[in-house]
Amino acid sequence: MYKLYLTSALNLIETIQLAKRACQFRQVLQFRQVLLAKKNIYIIGGSHRDTPRTWNSADCTFETVAKFDIFRREWTETAPMEVGRILPGVSALNGKIYVVGGERGSQILANGEVYDPQNDIWQPIAPMIVPRCEFGLCTMGGNLFAVGGWIGDDIGGTMECYDPEKDLWKLIGSMPQPRFSMGVVSFEGLIYIVGGCTTTTRHLPDLISYNPVTKEWTQLARMQTARCQMGVAVLDRYLYVVGGSSISQDILSSVERYNFDDDKWSTVCALNVPRAIPAVAAADGLLYVAGGDQPCEVNFYRAQVTISAVECYDPLSDTWKNCPDLPVSRSEAGAVVV
């Protein structure tokens, strides 16, 4: 009988120990999943204008980078860029952040930098072949693609591709029409270009796609509202177009999304705060919109001022919620998630 009780007690102890180990394993697994899912939104460069009369483009151009921890909902600053720039191209590739082109003062830039979030260090990369600002930059197949933009005294129509292994840019072709102030994203092997301005039309409703393999362009369904200076991002299987300016020069709060599968546009809940040239990024099932421009009128003088408001969109509830404001208002910045 004693042996039977002893055996039962030992079995109970072993069962308890196994249960503890299983609980610890689940906790470790959950912690690892949180770490793997942990993402930060980086708002890079841009401009700051409190009042229209005191603005100087060179003095108000940011080198700084604001980082938003979406779990802690806190803003911090990372190491600044070597060169301040507005309207740069920004994209993430292999865990690093690439920032190229843009404008400082009256100079259109071709140079670029790459940021390593692990070591909080910026390093220079080879300059683009064509200096450009207010253009599109996206990542696909391990390369960066720069599309169109304002090139100094004209609208650019060229496209170039960057190989990070060779640190080399090369021209790969041209768009059907030169275009700037548009949205550019990549999705499943294609580059999508939406809205913007051409030499003949200031605000476009167009959406076109480009296949880098076949070099073919395809005209797709048009947006419901023609616009430029908007923010764009891909969330789930939709392309979201956020805010911007309209044909009547109004600053928009409207938001549209494009279904890649059905080639159809639909309207979703409007922004709480209308804005042009916002920084937009998608992370963990939500769409984040930070900063941007709003009109300001002082003594009959109308100009744009920057805002610090941040909000996020939940597609499940079709609602926008306010997030902690940017530490300093900014517009014409890039946004990326790492």
Q: For position 24, what pLDDT does the model report?
A: 52
Rounded CA-CA distance 307/48 in Å is 8
List the end-to-end C-alpha distance of the chain, in Å, as a whole number: 63
Q: For position 111, what pLDDT does the model report?
A: 98
Domain boundaries, the chain: 1-32, 40-337
The string of pLDDT tens digits covering residues 41-88 is 999 999 999 875 555 555 589 999 999 999 999 999 999 999 999 999
**Cβ neighbours for 65, distance < 8 A, ≥ 6 positions apart:** 42, 43, 44, 45, 77, 78, 79, 80, 81, 115
Count of beta carbons in the 10 Å neighbourhood of residue 117 = 16
Kindly tell me if the per-residue pLDDT of 29 is higher than 60: no
Residue ranges with strand state E in 32-167: 40-44, 65-69, 74-77, 89-93, 96-100, 103-104, 107-108, 112-116, 121-125, 136-140, 143-150, 155-163
pTM: 0.88
Q: Are strands 65-69 and 310-314 parallel, antiparallel or unpaired?
A: unpaired
Q: For position 249, what pLDDT does the model report?
A: 87
Rounded CA-CA distance 166/116 in Å is 18
**How far is C-alpha 289 from the geometric centre of its chain's CA atoms?**
9
Q: Are 133 and 109 in contact (CB under 8 A)?
A: yes
Kindly tell me if the per-residue pLDDT of 209 is higher than 90: yes
Dihedral (CA of 124, 130, 133, 134) sign: negative
CATH class of the domain comprising 40-337: mainly beta
Model confidence band, residue 327 (pLDDT cutoffs 50, 70, 90): very high
In one-letter notation, the amino acid at residue 117 is: P
Q: Are 72 and 57 in contact (CB under 8 A)?
A: no
Dihedral (CA of 276, 45, 290, 236) sign: positive
Residues in the chain: 338
Q: Are strands 107-108 and 112-116 parallel, antiparallel or unpaired?
A: unpaired
Q: Are 145 and 93 in contact (CB under 8 A)?
A: no
Q: Minimal CA–CA distance to 42: which of 75, 11, 89? A: 75
The string of pLDDT tens digits covering residues 248-285 is 989 999 999 999 999 999 999 999 999 999 999 999 99
Collapse the DSSP code of 33 into the 3-class scheme (helix H, G, I; strand E, B; otherwise coil) and give the result: helix
Kindly tell me if the per-residue pLDDT of 20 is higher than 60: no
Structure tokens at 6: 């002893």
